[in-house]
Amino acid sequence: MTNAARSDSIVKGFALSSVFWLLIGLVVGLWLAAEMIYPVLNLTPWLAFGRLRVVHTNGLIFGFTLAGIFACSFYMLEKLTRTPLAFPGLAKAQLWLFNIAIALAALSLFAGMNTSKEYAELEWPLDIVVVVLWVMFAVNVMGTLVKRREKQMYVSLWFLIACVVTVAVVYILNNLAIPVSLTKSYSVYAGVNDANVQWWFGHNAVASVFTFPILAMFYYFLPKSTGLPIYSHRLSIIAFWSLVFGYLWTGAHHLMLTPVPEWIQTVALAFSLFLIAPSWASVINGFYTMNGNWEKMKSNYLVKFFILGITFYGLQTIQGPTQAIRALSGFLHYTEYIPGHVHMGTMGWVTMIITASMYFMMTRISGREIHSVKLANVHFWLILVGQLLFTVTLWIAGIVQGAMWKATNPDGSLMYTFLDSVAAMYPFWTVRLVGGLLYFAGIAVFAYNLYMTSRSKPGTESSTAAAAKAQAV
């Protein structure tokens, strides 16, 4: 397949779009972190915490992560199937519609148009646009698979198929609503059923967006960047089918100790603990792939992103299920511990894998080596230190918060008021803001480095020569 036949411009367009929305989402996140310390920053309703929080989460889930998934998926599809995209024109249209939709989504959330369902806040007109975008993506994925010249299906393709199918199912079912105007709708579900469907969606969205496609990238780009075959293809397939089966039953662990029937909570708890095994199958597969070649952590700037990324995935997949245990859930739920858990996954696992994958892809697409390995290393250390400062601080804050809420005097009265627990959080929130600033600095370095790598300039070496040279590093 020649360069002309590949959809490099589409991959590049989605990759740069992803980085743009990542920067925007992180700026909003920093403003939110500052508002926790300086409430005076709630300058107008458009900058109120309640509105900015959903702009932050939606911007990073839909703007950054989905665009990164589209870019990496199209790249991997063409490579693993040895076939050009089935409908490149459709993918170009998807790129334009995607960016228009993300901009409209941000404006609507800034304006306070919100369904109030976490991670499903977009109102019904934008939900329809999201579904159209996903259909466009699915048509290209399935169409390319049908036309593929390579009959063997590598595990990354299985994870992409799971992503396409599960996102469609959970997004559509959870967002079924009755419109009452152009900007307002109400869910077709009510009460406990609404909560159950919402968190069935919420947790499977984590699987479909933050797990399946990111594992697809890990299984593809780690071997490509190291030149080492994956340790066990069989183990990767076992992990895939176990994850797909297990994830569907875990949503209700977000509703422990609530009016949801206890047997549903217990089923969710059991499957949550079960998920530790297939999750760690991928972690072990990654570690054993590096067996005997750990010096590449120093000699190859990409490897440490992938290995630290899969390590954070492993930690995340122990922390999440254990949080479902009732005793721990009763102590930690609704505290700062939970944002700490979520941000280790998003800032550590998801972002490390996507940014490393983008470095790899952009050097191949541009036919050049990375603009600066030194800047890539600066990027790595800034986001690693920033993320650890951010998440570890929130874990400690959550434990302190939970302990204060539970503490009682000998007569049984509460030892602390709620305001006491809020005041105790200020030092932790300050450290979190510092960690966020470090993390943002690392992402800014990444954006500059990736942009400079993506630029074409006269006299650059040929794509093939550069790719061979980069592979040898």
Q: How far is CA 200 from CA 62, 124, 160, 196, 252, in A?
A: 19, 20, 20, 6, 7
Q: Hey, what amino acid is at 403? A: A
Give the pLDDT of residue 457: 59
User: pLDDT-derived band of residue 472, with 50, 70 and 90 as boundaries?
Assistant: very low
Contact partners, residue 442, CB within 8 Å, separation at least 6: 378, 379, 380, 381, 382, 383, 386
Is the pLDDT at 462 greater than 60? The verdict is no
Sequence-distant (≥ 6) Cβ neighbours of residue 281 within 8 angstroms:
235, 236, 238, 239, 242
Q: What confidence score (pLDDT) does residue 248 get?
A: 86
- Residue 455 pLDDT: 86
Kindly report, residue by residue over 44-54, the tens digit of the pLDDT. Answer: 999 999 999 99
In tens, the pLDDT along 110-133 reads 999 999 999 999 999 999 999 999
Q: What is the DSSP letter of 408?
A: B
Helix, strand or coil for residue 414?
A: strand
Which helix (H) or strand (E) segment holds residue 54: the answer is helix 49-58
Those residues with Cβ within 8 angstroms of residue 229's Cβ, 6 or more apart along the chain or in another chain? 223, 289
pLDDT score, position 4: 53
Taking the C-alpha atoms of residue 169 and residue 216, their distance in angstroms, rounded to an integer, is 20
Question: 18-57: per-residue pLDDT in tens?
Answer: 999 999 999 999 999 999 999 999 999 999 999 999 999 9
Q: pLDDT tens digits for 240-269?
A: 999 999 988 899 999 999 999 999 999 999
Rounded to the nearest integer, the mean pLDDT of the chain is: 93
3-state DSSP helix/strand/coil % of the chain, to nearest 5: 75, 0, 20
Positive or negative CA dihedral for 119, 50, 317, 15?
positive
Q: What pLDDT, on the 0 to 100 scale, is given for residue 76?
A: 97
Mean pLDDT, residues 217-224 taken together: 98
Q: Over 90: is that where the pLDDT of 309 sits? A: yes
Q: How many CB atoms lie within 10 A of CB 197?
A: 21
Mean pLDDT on 365-391: 96
Identify the pLDDT of residue 463: 42
Over the stretch 421-435, which tens digit does the pLDDT of each residue have?
Answer: 999 999 999 999 999
